[in-house]
Amino acid sequence: MLNTKDFHSTNLSTKPWNCPPSFSLEPRAPLARSPGSSPTVPPLADTVRCVPDNEELTVLARNGDIEAFDKLIQRHRGMCMKRALLIMRNVSAAEDAVQSAFRSALKHLKQFQGKGTFTGWLARIVENQCLMKLREEKQAHFVYLDESTESETRLELVGQTRNPEDELGGKEVRKVLETEMSRMPPLFRNIMMLHDSEQLPIRDVAERLGVSVPAAKSRLLRARRELRSRIGKHCGRKGPGTLLEMAAYSRTAYTSGS
């Protein structure tokens, strides 16, 4: 074992035993700085961003900022769904009511004068939409075909397919149109084929015919008048509507039972 004299005579470091190797107890010289300069402050790593509140977003949305309105909707979506579910008691119906409320809020956003909170104003719109949908459901009357009913109203259901008489009438109308269009001057027939048959825009029609757009519109108007005059010879007292009439029994009829 070393005695006290041997301990002091050994070449040991004067640093404390628990100091890290890079740590020095000697005072450091102050950093050199030019006269009159302020100390350098290191910049912040992240800049703090201020989140706008509902009032600020409402002002922006009223001025036409759709992104601000979308942020308002995202903040209040959960609240609106909870309120709608309490009234509708159905998730699908509540979602429909909330979507209708959002559309109504966007449409009437400029009517919000800021006298109350946007949250309360939107909540009232949601409640009104829910109540409107409930009233519509109560007024709706469903008729079940497999159940007997005491109502005196008789519902006659007719197939949606065209009956033979209507099919024959449609063929006759197409034949008349083709015949009369073939007899029209090429100047009128070509523009009607391009615009009405091929469904081309009027600009494309004018480009194909090599005329201006106003000239193409005028020619198309005269061509339709010409065709209407020619078809009028095949119509009855009701005019061109006679060719488009359907049989009376092809419509759904409601009659009072005896």
Question: What is the per-residue DSSP string for 14-73?
Answer: SS-TTS-TT---SPPPPPP--TTPPPPPPPPSSPPPPPP-HHHHHHHHHTT-HHHHHHHH
Is 45 a member of any domain?
no
Is 182 a member of any domain?
yes
pLDDT above 90 as % of the chain:
28
| pTM score | 0.39
pLDDT digits 0-9 by tens, 13-49: 444 444 444 444 455 555 555 555 555 544 544 444 5
Closest of 177, 172, 173, 101 to residue 133, by C-alpha: 101
Is 2 a member of any domain?
no
Is 36 a member of any domain?
no
pLDDT digits 0-9 by tens, 161-170: 667 777 777 7
- The set of residues, in sequence order, having a beta carbon less than 8 Å from that of 95 and lying 6+ positions away, is 81, 84
DSSP code for 236? B
**Structural domain harbouring 134:** 54-138
Indicate the pLDDT class of residue 121, thresholds 50, 70 and 90: very high
CATH number of the domain residue 217 falls in:
1.10.10.10
Decide if 103 contacts 80 (C-beta within 8 A).
no
Query: Same structural domain for residues 130 and 172?
Result: no
Considering its fold, how many domains does the chain have in total? 2
**Which of 146-155, 202-211, 239-248 has the weakest average pLDDT?**
239-248
Is 26 a member of any domain?
no
Query: Same structural domain for residues 121 and 173?
Result: no
Is 128 a member of any domain?
yes
Closest of 253, 251, 247 to residue 168, by C-alpha: 247
CATH number of the domain residue 63 falls in:
1.10.1740.10
Distance between CA atoms of residues 68 and 60, nearest Å: 6
